[in-house]
A and B are shown apart, each in its own frame.
Chain A
Amino acid sequence: MILKLSGTSFTYAAQDENAAPALEKCDLEIDTTRVTVTLGHNGAGKSTLIRLLTGQLLGYSGEYAIDGKVQDPARGELLALNRFGYAPDHPVLEPHLTGLEMICMAGSFRGWTESQTLAGLGIYREMFELEDWLENKTCSAYSKGMAKKIALVIGLIGDLAYSFLDEPFDGLDPISIHNLKKHLRARREKGIGTFLSSHMLDAAEKVVDDVILMKSGLVAFAGSYPDLLAGHPQAKGGLEEIYFNLFGT
């Protein structure tokens, strides 16, 4: 599947003429069988890009097409229709449900039975060390890391074609970060890609196929990681050095 943005712009306060666009004239092609990492400062437009690609932002200008089919910005059923998973930057969980209930609910909304969801959960139990709290505590009692793990499982579980993970490494313990990187690589081997944004350059570097560098709502670079490296032969320190060369003060 190819996600294509052509001259796409988005402004949060569209009625305000002076408001700066969060995303400006983006031209991108994203292959859903690869791992694409978007990098940039805070407020560069990474989360906005993810929200637009997942169909959560209406009223953008320009075009968004999936496999050549132009999307209707008013429909807002993009995730379900295309089997996309999404884990937001700030975990969104129902405070009165347990983590397991949240996961089963998400699985059910993707057409999975409870037994299928529980079977699919096995790998994530091990990966994120999900313990008794998953069944016994409601999400209101979870720590930041626990909530993040549940949000990630929801973004990854099920018969998905592609997942969008906003800051997936933020709040996770080192073991979970390691396991998540391994899992993303394993998914890519099966042809299931991931789109992620991150500030953890060393972690992102381990999984990246394609890179999108963003600054103030503009795409500064979009292409494969080897192409990015080839464009900066002097940068021996990899992604971190390139990032500092491009964006550092």
Chain B
Amino acid sequence: MGKRAVRRQGTDGSRTASWAAGYGKTAGAAFSAGIMLTVVDQVWGNRTGLFAICLLSLGLAAALAFEFLDLRQALTFPRRLESLFVAGSDYGRRKKSVQAALLASARTLSVFAVIAGTIVMIIPWRHPLGIIAMPALLCLETWAGTGLFWLVAEKEWLSPSRERFSGIGRGSLSKPPKGRLAGSLVRQSQALAHALTAALPAPYAWLARRKLLFLLRLDPVSLALYLLAIVICGIAFLGAGSIFMAGFFASIGCMVTLTLAQTVFTECDRFYRENAFLFPPRRFGFRCDLAMAMVIAAGFGLYFFLAACRLLGAGAALRSQSLWQTWITLAAFAGLVIVDAYASGRTREARTALSFCYLGIAGIMYMFPLYGWIAALAVLAGVTAQCLRTARA
């Protein structure tokens, strides 16, 4: 086999692997969303699955709209100027790229819609027609929306803009602010991060502050929306009046927040690793990250404690198995996520999948009180030993 053939085979192989990984991630996310929406439907819906389907439909519409808003810059950028200099940047090719991206996005969203839609329909509609019809409707919605945006690109309905096209920050919801707004954001984020970390000793104060500043300046709109969503969900789950639902939210919320935080801080951590001469040794970074993860876990632990107090009374809450098991599980989650990030060479996707495995195992353990206790304590002990080892390395 010639060199070129080997190279081509390698490229095709890696493309297939990345394609499979992409759809694997979508399937995993759809599965988790389906289970979560099933629970939501059982509590707040009329237990026919329609409420969950409506939420899914809204989510798909929002995802499509965000995707198009993200891609629209390529269509509104001045249409002639740069095409004289840069190969492949003329409007026709950009239009084709946008349309291809829209189709790829529609395929991914269809996979999501089919899996999540099927899961939410399995319990309430035992008839196969119902299980097939609702996911099919969601797919139809996805392709209709995509078709509309495809047409907007095809017919050139968006007028060109003189604003400079920037590929930076495409992953974020809001554009990086400019001018006076940027100056104000710098000052306000600085004051907030300073206030939150002022009491910490050196070098932890700055290790924590740099991460907070990264979070506050990267995409403040997304951060605010996420915090708002957490608060609204927390209140809604508390309003369900069930200790199980509050525990469900505390565990899910904690794991999702920890996993998201780890994903967001990937750049920050890479900078630390690659420019070690600027920073104190890695063990200090580990201790700081562990403490920050514990703060997140403590927030959700406090939420569950308050929920248990409200539903069971303080005395009963402190005597209940679920409160202690949740606290131990949340602490173990935080430790597992951070130790995994430092000690293993796993990719971000693998770590996300692993996080949700921990969550699933923890969920199952709730069904077996005594064994659940033993398992949670064993995990916490193992994690503590690993943390101590890494923190002193």
- Asked if A109 and B279 sit within 8 Å, CB to CB, the answer is yes
* Across-interface contacts of B186 in A (CB, < 8 A): 98, 135-138
Interface mask (A100-140 → B, CB under 8 Å = 1, otherwise 0)? 01001110110101000000000000000000000111100
Interface mask (B178-215 → A, CB under 8 Å = 1, otherwise 0)? 00001100110010000000000011011001100110
Number of interface residues of A (CB under 8 A): 27
- Asked if A105 and B206 sit within 8 Å, CB to CB, the answer is yes
Which B residues from 295 to 345 make CB contacts under 8 A with A?
none
* Across-interface contacts of A106 in B (CB, < 8 A): 278
Q: Is B79 an interface residue (CB 8 A)?
A: no
Choose from B190, B206, B213, B277 the contact partner of A79 (Cβ within 8 Å).
B277
Candidate in A55, A86, A108 with the most chain B CB atoms within 10 angstroms: A108
Q: A77-B281, A86-B277 are in contact. Are A97 and B210 (CB under 8 A)?
A: yes
Q: Is A94 an interface residue (CB 8 A)?
A: yes
- Asked if B280 and A109 sit within 8 Å, CB to CB, the answer is yes
Distance of A221 from chain B, by nearest CB (Å): 28
* Across-interface contacts of A76 in B (CB, < 8 A): 276, 281
- Asked if A108 and B210 sit within 8 Å, CB to CB, the answer is no
Q: Is A96 an interface residue (CB 8 A)?
A: yes
**Chain B contact residues: helix, strand, loop or mixed:** helix
Number of interface residues of B (CB under 8 A): 24
How many A-B pairs fall under 8 Å by CB? 58
Which B residues from 261 to 293 make CB contacts under 8 A with A?
268, 271, 275-281
* Across-interface contacts of B203 in A (CB, < 8 A): 108-109
**Nearest chain-B residue to A51 (Cβ)?**
B277
Q: Is B218 an interface residue (CB 8 A)?
A: yes
- Asked if B281 and A108 sit within 8 Å, CB to CB, the answer is no
Distance of B83 from chain A, by nearest CB (Å): 28
Interface mask (A136-165 → B, CB under 8 Å = 1, otherwise 0)? 111000000000000000100000000000
**Alpha-carbon gap, A96 to B189, bound state (A):** 11
**Alpha-carbon gap, A94 to B202, bound state (A):** 19
Q: Is A38 an interface residue (CB 8 A)?
A: no
Interface mask (B343-380 → A, CB under 8 Å = 1, otherwise 0)? 00000000000000000000000000000000000000
**Alpha-carbon gap, A80 to B209, bound state (A):** 20
**Alpha-carbon gap, A49 to B293, bound state (A):** 39
Q: Is A92 an interface residue (CB 8 A)?
A: yes
Distance of A138 from chain B, by nearest CB (Å): 6
Choose from A88, A104, A105, A138 the contact partner of B217 (Cβ within 8 Å).
A138
- Asked if B280 and A80 sit within 8 Å, CB to CB, the answer is yes
Distance of B194 from chain A, by nearest CB (Å): 9
- Asked if A96 and B276 sit within 8 Å, CB to CB, the answer is no
Q: Is A224 an interface residue (CB 8 A)?
A: no
Distance of A2 from chain B, by nearest CB (Å): 21
- Asked if B202 and A109 sit within 8 Å, CB to CB, the answer is yes
Which A residues from 7 to 42 make CB contacts under 8 A with B?
none
Distance of A134 from chain B, by nearest CB (Å): 11
* Across-interface contacts of B210 in A (CB, < 8 A): 94, 97, 101, 105
- Asked if A111 and B183 sit within 8 Å, CB to CB, the answer is no
| Those 10 A-B pairs whose CB atoms lie nearest each other, nearest first | A105-B206, A108-B206, A96-B217, A92-B275, A96-B214, A108-B202, A136-B183, A109-B203, A77-B281, A86-B277
User: What is the interface of chain A, defined by CB distance below 8 A to chain B?
Assistant: 54-56, 76-77, 79-80, 86, 88, 92, 94, 96-98, 101, 104-106, 108-109, 111, 113, 135-138, 154
A56-B277, A77-B281, A80-B280 known; 7 other A-B pairs, CB under 8 Å?
A79-B277, A92-B275, A92-B278, A105-B206, A108-B206, A135-B186, A137-B183
User: What is the interface of chain B, defined by CB distance below 8 A to chain A?
Assistant: 182-183, 186-187, 190, 202-203, 205-206, 209-210, 213-214, 217-218, 268, 271, 275-281
> What are 20 residue pairs bridging A and B, where the CB atoms are less than 8 Å apart in the complex?
A56-B277, A80-B281, A92-B278, A101-B213, A105-B206, A106-B278, A108-B202, A108-B203, A108-B206, A109-B206, A109-B278, A109-B279, A109-B280, A111-B202, A135-B186, A136-B183, A137-B182, A137-B183, A138-B182, A138-B186
